[in-house]
C-alpha cells in the first residue's frame, strides 16, 4: 500500500495557506488593504455573521492576507489553526484572555522574555490573574506551583536570556496531570528547529517579529492551537465548553471540536480586544517565512562558528571571555535535552560574560564591548538577519530586582547576542576587536 | 442535544438552534472515524434556513455512547430509531463517505422515513486496502495518516482554507486521532464489506443529490457518477479541485448545492 504523502516543511514554508489568487492569477500573496468586504446579498451577510459560511467580514476579525500567514504558521507548527496578532505580546495576552477570567492563575517559567514577565508579574494581577514563576529546570517546583485555580502552564523552549532548555514533554505531562494546557513561546526556535506540539504542548505562540519575519521590519505575533487539549474532560474552561451569550450562544467545544480554542480566540478575542495584525505586516512576515528553512540553517551555522570562537577565547589564559552559554555545548546544563528537542540546532542566541579588568568589573567591560562593536547592532530585538547584541541587565530585564535577575539567570556581565546571516568571519573579526577594546583598559 | 437510541446515549448537534420536530428535519451523517464537527458550517446554515438539524455522532463516535456499529446496513437500520427518538417521522439525509453509504442504504430500505438523500464523496463500492484495515483495527496512527493523506485534495494539502486561520490536514488529524482506538477500523471494515450500493441506488425512490469532488482519490467522481446513473432521478454536482472531504474542502459549494436541492430559505 502506498504511503500517505504530505508536503514537506520547506514546501509548506512557501505554499501553505495560499493558492494563486483566483481573481487575478497573482502568484504572490496579494496585500488585501481593505477594512471590510462586500456581501453578496442580505442572506450571505447574515450567514457570515452567524458562522454558517466561511469568509471575511471586517479586517479586525480576519483578512485574506493575514489568513494566509495564519494557515501557513498553523501548518508549519502542525496545529489545527492560528490567530495572528499585532505583536507577540498580543498573542500571549489573547491566549490568556481566552482561557481564564479574574481569579485565574498561571505557572510560568522564570526564564522568559522580559516583556512577558512584565505582563504576568505586574499587569495581569490588576485584572485578577496571578502568576507563580518557577525555574524551568525545576520540574517538581512546577508541579508544586499548580493550584486548583491554575489554568495555564507557560514557558519558552529556550529561556530568555539564560538559554535554559525547557523539558517540554515533561512539563506537558505535569500540566496535563493537573488538567491544564501547556503554552510554549517558541520564538527563539521557530517551527524549523522545534515543533512543541509534537512534544506535548497544546498551544504555541511566536513573536513573528523575530526569526519568522527575519528582516526586522514588521511587528507581529501568532497563537497556534494544537487542537490536542480536551477542554471538556478538564472541566476548567467554561469559555470553551459552555454557551457564549456574546456570540450566538455558541459552545465552542461542541461546535468546533479540536478547533474550539482558536475559534473562540478569533470570535471573541480579536473582535473585542482588537489586537489584529495589519495585512501589510502579514505580507512582510510571509516574505520571511518563505525563506525560513534557508535562513535558520544559516543562523545555526554562524552561531556554531561564533560559539567556537568564544570557546577558544574562554580557553585562553589571557582571553577576555568569562563564560559562554549555548545549549549545544557539552558543559551546558541542558546539553542532553537540547540534543533531544533541538536536533537541527539550538538556535542562534548566545550568551556570554566578559571578564572584567579594573574598575567596573564585567558590567563596565560589557558596556565598552557593546560600544566597540561595529557590525553587531546594539538594539532591543532578536532574530534579525543582521547580528544584534544587548546587555539584558540594563535593558530588557531592567525592571527586575537583583533576586529576580538572578532567578532569570541574568548576570550583570551577561552579553546576549542574536547571530545573524553575515559572513561569520566578519562577525568574529568584529567580536575580536570589540573584546580587545573592552578589556585593554 | 442528547437522545437515547436503542438504550445508548446519542449526541446530535443541532446547528445553534433548538431542535423542533415540527420543522422539516435533516440528518447529517459523518464519515469513518469522524464526528459532527465536520458539518459545523452546514449544520448552522441548515438550522438557520428552516430546517431542524441532527448532525449526529454515530454510536461509538464523538460524544455518543455505545459501541461503533459494524455494518452499513446496521447503521442504516439504526437511523429510524434515531428519528423515533427525535420525534421525527421523516427526514432528509445528508451523508459523507461511510455516512453516504448509510444514507443510501437507509433510503433504499426505509423509504417511508427518508425525504431525500444528498450523498457526498460516494461510490458503489468503497474497498479498503487490507494493510489500512489492519492498521486501523489496531489503532495505529498510520491509519489516520493514510486516510487524511488520501482523503484531502490539493486544497487540503496546500491550503487556502476558506475558513480564516484553520488548517484542514492538522484539523482532520486531530479529529480522527481523538476517536477511540479501533473505531476507525470498524468503520473502514463496514465500508469495505458493503456491496449493496448498486442495488440500493436502483431502489431509490426519493430525490437524490450526488456531490462529488473532482479530485477525489478515495471515491473518484467517475465512480460517484456511475452510482448516480443507477438512480431513477438524480442530480450530480461535481466540485472542481476538491478531494474526498467535500464539505470541509468546499463548504460554500456544498451549501450552494444543498440550498436548491433542499429548497432552503432563511428563517
Q: What is the mean pLDDT of residues B232-248?
A: 96
Check A50 against B167: CB less than 8 A apart.
Answer: no
Nearest-Cα distance to chain A for B266, in Å, is 7
* A344-371: pLDDT as tens digits: 999 999 999 988 766 556 778 888 899 9
Complex confidence, ipTM: 0.96
* A302-315: pLDDT as tens digits: 999 999 999 999 99
* B50-94: pLDDT as tens digits: 999 999 999 999 999 999 999 999 999 999 999 999 999 999 999
Instruction: Please name the residue of chain B whose CA is at the shortest distance from the CA of residue A43.
Output: B266
* A217-259: pLDDT as tens digits: 999 999 999 999 999 999 999 999 999 999 999 999 999 999 9
Q: What is the pairing mode between strands A414-418 and A349-354?
A: antiparallel
| Per-residue model confidence (pLDDT) at position A441 | 57
User: How much of chain A, in percent, has pLDDT values that exceed 90?
Assistant: 86
Task: Please check whether residue A59 is in contact with residue A266, taking contact to mean a CB–CB distance below 8 angstroms.
Answer: no
Task: Please check whether residue A128 is in contact with residue A154, taking contact to mean a CB–CB distance below 8 angstroms.
Answer: no
| Per-residue model confidence (pLDDT) at position A52 | 97
Would the pLDDT of A410 be above 90?
no
| Per-residue model confidence (pLDDT) at position A439 | 80
Nearest-Cα distance to chain A for B203, in Å, is 34
* A83-108: pLDDT as tens digits: 999 999 999 999 999 999 999 999 99
Would the pLDDT of A168 be above 90?
yes
Check B170 against A74: CB less than 8 A apart.
Answer: yes
Interface of B with A in 64-123 (CB under 8 A): none
First to last CA, chain B: 21
Q: DSSP assignment, residue A123?
A: I
Q: What domains can be seen in chain B, in order of their start residue?
A: 2-125+195-262 (3.40.50.1820)
Instruction: Please name the residue of chain A whose CA is at the shortest distance from the CA of residue B159.
Output: A17
B contacts of A70 (beta carbons < 8 Å): 164-165
The span from the CA of A389 to the CA of A219, in Å, is 19
Check A47 against B48: CB less than 8 A apart.
Answer: yes
Check B165 against A266: CB less than 8 A apart.
Answer: yes
The distance from CA A343 to its chain's CA centroid, rounded to whole angstroms, is 19
Q: What domains can be seen in chain A, in order of their start residue?
A: 36-289 (3.40.640.10), 291-439 (3.90.1150.10)
The span from the CA of B157 to the CA of A6, in Å, is 7
| Per-residue model confidence (pLDDT) at position A380 | 87
* A131-147: pLDDT as tens digits: 999 999 999 999 999 99
- Chain mean pLDDT for chain B: 96
* B164-223: pLDDT as tens digits: 999 999 999 999 999 999 999 999 999 999 999 999 999 999 999 999 999 999 999 999
| Per-residue model confidence (pLDDT) at position A319 | 84
| Per-residue model confidence (pLDDT) at position A360 | 58
Nearest-Cα distance to chain A for B140, in Å, is 14
Q: What is the mean pLDDT of residues A431-435?
A: 95
Give bridge partners of residue A354 from the DSSP assignment: A321
Would the pLDDT of A402 be above 80?
no
Nearest-Cα distance to chain B for A79, in Å, is 6
Q: Per-residue confidence at A377, pLDDT binned at 50, 70, 90?
A: very high
A contacts of B132 (beta carbons < 8 Å): 1
Tell me, yes or no, if A105 comes closer than 8 A to chain B by beta carbon. no
* B88-142: pLDDT as tens digits: 999 999 999 999 999 999 999 999 999 999 999 999 999 999 999 999 999 999 9
Q: Which of B16, B146, B164 lies closest to A62 in CB terms?
A: B164
Would the pLDDT of A337 be above 80?
yes
Instruction: Please name the residue of chain B whose CA is at the shortest distance from the CA of residue A245.
Output: B16
| Per-residue model confidence (pLDDT) at position A359 | 57
- Chain mean pLDDT for chain A: 94
Gyration radius of chain A over CA positions: 22
Check A54 against B145: CB less than 8 A apart.
Answer: no
Task: Please check whether residue A306 is in contact with residue A424, taking contact to mean a CB–CB distance below 8 angstroms.
Answer: yes
Amino acid at each position: 500500500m502506498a504511503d500517505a504523502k504530505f508536503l514537506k516543511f520547506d514546501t509548506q514554508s512557501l505554499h501553505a495557506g495560499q493558492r494563486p489568487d483566483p481573481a487575478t492569477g497573482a502568484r504572490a500573496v496579494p496585500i488585501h488593504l481593505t477594512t471590510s468586504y462586500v456581501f453578496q446579498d442580505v442572506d450571505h451577510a447574515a450567514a457570515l455573521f452567524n458562522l454558517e459560511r466561511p469568509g471575511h467580514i471586517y479586517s479586525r476579525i480576519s483578512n485574506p492576507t493575514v489568513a494566509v500567514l495564519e494557515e501557513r504558521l498553523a501548518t508549519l507548527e502542525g496545529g489545527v489553526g492560528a490567530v495572528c496578532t499585532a505583536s507577540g505580546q498580543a498573542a500571549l495576552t489573547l491566549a490568556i484572555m481566552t482561557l481564564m477570567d479574574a481569579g485565574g492563575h498561571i505557572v510560568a517559567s522564570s526564564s522568559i522574555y522580559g516583556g512577558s514577565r512584565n505582563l504576568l508579574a505586574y499587569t495581569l494581577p490588576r485584572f485578577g490573574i496571578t502568576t507563580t514563576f518557577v525555574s524551568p529546570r525545576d520540574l517538581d517546583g512546577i508541579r508544586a506551583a499548580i493550584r486548583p485555580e491554575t489554568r495555564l502552564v507557560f514557558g519558552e523552549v529556550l529561556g530568555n536570556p539564560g538559554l535554559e532548555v525547557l523539558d517540554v514533554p515533561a512539563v506537558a505531562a505535569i500540566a496535563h496531570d493537573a488538567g491544564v494546557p501547556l503554552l510554549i513561546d517558541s520564538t527563539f526556535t521557530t517551527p524549523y528547529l522545534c515543533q512543541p506540539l509534537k512534544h506535548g504542548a497544546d498551544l504555541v505562540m511566536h513573536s513573528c517579529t523575530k526569526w519568522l519575519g527575519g528582516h526586522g521590519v514588521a511587528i507581529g505575533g501568532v497563537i497556534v492551537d494544537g487542537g490536542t487539549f480536551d477542554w471538556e474532560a478538564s472541566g476548567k474552561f467554561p469559555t470553551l465548553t459552555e454557551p457564549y451569550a456574546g456570540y450566538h450562544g455558541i459552545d465552542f467545544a461542541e461546535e468546533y471540536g479540536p478547533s474550539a480554542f482558536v475559534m473562540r480566540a478569533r470570535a471573541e478575542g480579536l473582535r473585542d480586544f482588537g489586537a489584529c495584525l495589519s495585512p501589510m505586516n502579514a505580507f512582510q512576515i510571509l516574505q520571511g517565512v518563505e525563506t525560513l528553512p534557508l535562513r535558520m540553517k544559516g543562523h545555526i551555522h554562524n552561531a556554531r562558528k561564533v560559539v567556537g570562537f568564544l570557546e577558544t577565547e574562554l580557553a585562553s589564559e589571557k582571553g577576555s571571555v568569562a563564560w559562554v552559554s549555548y545549549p549545544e555545548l557539552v558543559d551546558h546544563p541542558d546539553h542532553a535535552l537540547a540534543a533531544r528537542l533541538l536536533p537541527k540546532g539550538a538556535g542562534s542566541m548566545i550568551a556570554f560574560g566578559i571578564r572584567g579588568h579594573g574598575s567596573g568589573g564585567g558590567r563596565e567591560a560589557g558596556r565598552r564591548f557593546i560600544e566597540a562593536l561595529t557590525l553587531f547592532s546594539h538594539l532591543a530585538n532578536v532574530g534579525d538577519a543582521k547580528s544584534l547584541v544587548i546587555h539584558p541587565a540594563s535593558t530588557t530585564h531592567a525592571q527586575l530586582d537583583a533576586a529576580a535577575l538572578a532567578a532569570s539567570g541574568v548576570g550583570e556581565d551577561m552579553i546576549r547576542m542574536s547571530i545573524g546571516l553575515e559572513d561569520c568571519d566578519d562577525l568574529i573579526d568584529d567580536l575580536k576587536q570589540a573584546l580587545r577594546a573592552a578589556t585593554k583598559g | 442535544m442528547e437522545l437515547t437510541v436503542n438504550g445508548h446515549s446519542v449526541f446530535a448537534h443541532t446547528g445553534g438552534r433548538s431542535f423542533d420536530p415540527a420543522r422539516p428535519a435533516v440528518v447529517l451523517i459523518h464519515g469513518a472515524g469522524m464526528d459532527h464537527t465536520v458539518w459545523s458550517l452546514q449544520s448552522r446554515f441548515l438550522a438557520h434556513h428552516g430546517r431542524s438539524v441532527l448532525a449526529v455522532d454515530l454510536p461509538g463516535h464523538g460524544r455518543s455512547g455505545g459501541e461503533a456499529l459494524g455494518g452499513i446496513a446496521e447503521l442504516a437500520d439504526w437511523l429510524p430509531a434515531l428519528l423515533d427518538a427525535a420525534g421525527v417521522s421523516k427526514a432528509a439525509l445528508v451523508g459523507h463517505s461511510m455516512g453516504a453509504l448509510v444514507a443510501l442504504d437507509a433510503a433504499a430500505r426505509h423509504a417511508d422515513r427518508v425525504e431525500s438523500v444528498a450523498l457526498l464523496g460516494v461510490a458503489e463500492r468503497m474497498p479498503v486496502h487490507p494493510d489500512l484495515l489492519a492498521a486501523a483495527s489496531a489503532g495505529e496512527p498510520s491509519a489516520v495518516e493514510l486516510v487524511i493523506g488520501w482523503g484531502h485534495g490539493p486544497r487540503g494539502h496546500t491550503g487556502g482554507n476558506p475558513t480564516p486561520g484553520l488548517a484542514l490536514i492538522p484539523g482532520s488529524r486531530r479529529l480522527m486521532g481523538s476517536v477511540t482506538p479501533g473505531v476507525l477500523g470498524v468503520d473502514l471494515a463496514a465500508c469495505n464489506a458493503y456491496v449493496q450500493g448498486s442495488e440500493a441506488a436502483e431502489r431509490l425512490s426519493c430525490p437524490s443529490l450526488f456531490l462529488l469532488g473532482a479530485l477525489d482519490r478515495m471515491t473518484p467522481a467517475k465512480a460517484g457518477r456511475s452510482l448516480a446513473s443507477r438512480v431513477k432521478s438524480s442530480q450530480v454536482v461535481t466540485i472542481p479541485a476538491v478531494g474526498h472531504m467535500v464539505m470541509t474542502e468546499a463548504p460554500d459549494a456544498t451549501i450552494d448545492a444543498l440550498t436548491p436541492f433542499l429548497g432552503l430559505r432563511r428563517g
